[in-house]
């Protein structure tokens, strides 16, 4: 009952465009982008699937597509398997990065949305961190070379650049829209600098970068200086790469 009421309240806030938190604003903007970009047969990728809220929307908006979802935390992966059983979803208990192998993963048990390959700055007191073994792989090893991907969502608490590097062939082939998180407090713990990820996306992937709002408002693409300012002051920390 409580979960249903929360979902109803969220839907009402989205419909009224009442963004009482930054994350609610990003969720609403992401939905608006998906409605604009996706078609019934679109194929999508959800990296950092968590509870499957974005994956739910992929299935709703693109019921004829095949969707790839990645979640390394065992308890969350098992819940996703139950939730999406029989759906057009390929689930992988993997952490994606730029290389294949095995490593450890920081599961923040009292704030699982902050979990990631590296410890980062946490906006929660006394994070309860469980270090677990995980398998890592690259997106290009999972998605077949001839598969067209229309949208990729990446939310891996700072490791987004590694995911993009590991999906370079998929991105070059498909030229998808990519919604990704990036900024100080997460990305810098992976050694990522704004000019690194901006240069890779714009030069290697041949995509533009914008804020979610800027994209929806059809504003021009961000310059490196604009992206770097957002990266460093965290006034915006979700972005979209697009053809």
Question: pLDDT tens across 123-144, in order?
Answer: 878 899 999 999 999 999 999 9
88 contacts: CB under 8 Å, gap ≥ 6: 59, 63, 64, 65, 66, 67
Percentage of the chain lying above the pLDDT 70 cut? 92
User: Distance (Å, rounded) from C-alpha 134 to C-alpha 182?
Assistant: 23
Q: Which residues pair with 116 in a beta bridge?
A: 106
Of the pLDDT bands very low, low, confident and very high (cuts 50, 70, 90), residue 11 is low
- pLDDT tens, residue by residue, 148-183: 999 999 999 999 999 999 999 999 999 999 999 999
Q: Distance between CA atoms of 199 and 146, rounded to whole angstroms?
A: 26
- Return d(Cα 198, Cα 7) in angstroms, integer: 35
3-state secondary structure of 29: helix
The pLDDT score that the predictor gives to residue 35 is 98
Cβ-in-10-Å burial (0-12, 13-18, 19+) of 231 comes to: buried
Please state the rounded mean pLDDT for residues 43-70: 97
Please give the average per-residue pLDDT across 207-234, as a whole number: 97
What percent of the chain clears pLDDT 90, i.e. is strictly above it?
A: 84
What are the tokens at 86?
């029989």
Count of residues in the chain: 243
What confidence tens digit (pLDDT) does each residue in 67-83 have? 999 999 999 999 999 99
Place of tokens 């070059």: 172
**Cα separations in angstroms, 243 against 3, 115, 144, 205:** 37, 30, 21, 9
Confidence of residue 20 (pLDDT cuts 50, 70, 90): low
Which domains are present in the chain? 21-242 (3.40.50.150)
The lowest-confidence range among 109-113, 150-154, 187-191 is 109-113
Per-residue pLDDT, 64: 97
Angle (CA) 59 237 213, round 5°? 65
| Per-residue pLDDT, 21 | 74
Q: 165: closest CA among 212, 205, 221? A: 205
**What is the rounded average pLDDT of the residues 87-91?**
96
pLDDT for 58:
97
The full DSSP string for 196-207 is: HHHHIIIIIS--
């Amino acid at each position: 009952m409580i979960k249903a009421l929360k979902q109803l309240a969220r839907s009402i806030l989205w419909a009224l465009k009442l963004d009482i938190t930054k994350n609610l604003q990003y969720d609403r903007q992401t939905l608006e982008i998906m409605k604009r970009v996706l078609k019934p047969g679109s194929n999508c990728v959800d990296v950092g699937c968590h509870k499957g809220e974005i994956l739910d929307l992929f299935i709703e908006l693109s019921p004829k597509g095949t969707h790839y979802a990645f979640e390394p935390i065992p308890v969350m992966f098992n819940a996703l398997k139950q939730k999406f059983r029989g759906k057009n979803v390929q689930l992988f208990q993997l952490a994606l990065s730029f290389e294949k192998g095995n490593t450890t993963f920081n599961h923040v048990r009292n704030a699982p949305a902050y979990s990631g390959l590296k410890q980062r700055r946490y906006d929660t007191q006394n994070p309860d961190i469980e270090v677990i073994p995980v398998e890592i792989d690259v997106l290009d090893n999972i998605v077949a070379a001839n598969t067209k991907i229309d949208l990729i969502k990446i939310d891996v608490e700072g490791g987004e650049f590694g995911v993009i590097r590991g999906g370079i062939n998929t991105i070059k082939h498909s030229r998808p829209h990519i919604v990704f998180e990036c900024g100080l407090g997460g990305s810098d713990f992976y050694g990522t600098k704004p000019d690194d990820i901006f240069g890779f996306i714009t030069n290697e992937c041949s995509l533009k970068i914008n804020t979610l709002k800027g994209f929806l408002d059809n504003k021009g693409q961000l310059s490196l200086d604009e992206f770097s300012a957002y990266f460093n002051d965290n006034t915006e920390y979700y972005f979209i790469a697009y053809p």
